[in-house]
Amino acid sequence: MAEIPDSHPRKASLLSRQRIVEATKNGLLADSAMIAHGRGEAFDYLLGEKTSDSAKLAIKEVAARLMAAKNPVISVNGNTVVLAGKSLIRLAAVINCPIEVNIYYRTEDRMLKLNSLLENQKELLSQESGPKGWDGIWNSAVMSVKILGKLGDGRIEGLEGPRAICSAEGIEKADVVLVPLEDGDRCEALVNLEKQVLVVDLNPLSRTAKMATVTIVDEISRAAELLLEYAINNNQMPTEWNNNDILNKSLKIIASNATI
Ligand code: PTJ
């Protein structure tokens, strides 16, 4: 990997690119992963490459809904594992919920590779000290996070083909699903099943962003870190949420940044 000096103003973005490039070489990602990432980068640039106040409100709401859920699950695809896998394992340990590898372009090889990367990350994370402000036995909290998905024994009703495959213990059973970088059709199918669908998508105009119960318009690795912080300091209950309002706020940020 090329050395990127700390002084580089877009270091975080360049490091993410490198992660996507390496993971593509290692066969973890879909062929179109870089295109999806590039689209995300373009929106992030327009959003000022930082978490907005309105995104923070959405992250707090998502943390509250995950904490209040009966059967929450964190669904991850290739890009999400590579960019935010570790933070989401920490979040799952705090919430005490499973992570499901659920990919759009499903192949056995990618499922196995993503699954074993998460299992390895779990081992590593279990050896670190618990996050600030969290009480409990960190090692066992991390090691008890189930990584689901290999066994495709569940179905997302309303979808056909491999995109419908999910885990019976994960997405199929869940009342609340966190699905970063989700596809519009699957988001719609999950909403139709009356699940709360919590998404992270840098594009406030995507079908997913518009269909979801709560949309975090932010970059997944930044959002995942804040989700962890807010889940630990959780001091709110889910509210009456107006998702269109939050999407309009992010569009206003883009419009206000679009002047020279
Ligand atoms: O691993 P798989 O097989 O499930 O495939 C994953 C991708 C992402 C390739 C697949 O789901 C896909 O093609 O996604 P789309 O339809 O291109 O949608 C990706 C959405 O995520 C776009 O709206 C992007 O703006 C957004 N996005 C991309 N990178 C990020 C992001 N949002 C948040 N953080 C990012 N880093």
CA distances from 214 to 39, 233, 243, 260 (A): 21, 20, 6, 32
- 74 alpha carbon to ligand 1 midpoint, in Å? 16
Minimal-distance CA residue to ligand 1 atom 14 = 36
pLDDT of 94 reads 97
30 Cα nearest atom in ligand 1: 3
- 204 alpha carbon to ligand 1 midpoint, in Å? 13
Q: pLDDT (tens digit, 9 = 90+) per residue, 15-37? A: 999 999 999 999 999 999 999 99
Element (H, E) at 24: helix 11-25
pLDDT of 2 reads 65
Q: Which two tokens stand for residue 248?
A: 């309009």
DSSP β-ladder status, 176-180 and 165-166: unpaired
Does ligand 1 have an atom closer than 6 angstroms to the CB of 75? Answer: no
103 Cα nearest atom in ligand 1: 4
pLDDT of 4 reads 80
pTM, 2 dp: 0.96
pLDDT (tens place) for every residue of the chain, 260 residues total: 567 888 887 888 899 999 999 999 999 999 999 999 999 999 999 999 999 999 999 999 999 999 999 999 999 999 999 999 999 999 999 999 999 999 999 999 999 999 999 999 999 999 999 999 999 999 999 999 999 999 999 999 999 988 899 999 999 999 999 999 999 999 999 999 999 999 999 999 999 999 999 999 999 999 999 999 999 998 889 999 999 999 999 999 999 998 88
Structural domains for the chain: 53-257 (3.40.50.12640)
Element (H, E) at 200: strand 196-200
Minimal-distance CA residue to ligand 1 atom 21 = 181
Q: At CB < 8 A and 24+ separation, what contacts does 196-203 make?
A: 196/65, 196/69, 198/62, 198/65, 198/66, 200/224, 202/39, 202/40, 202/43, 202/44, 202/47, 203/39, 203/40, 203/43
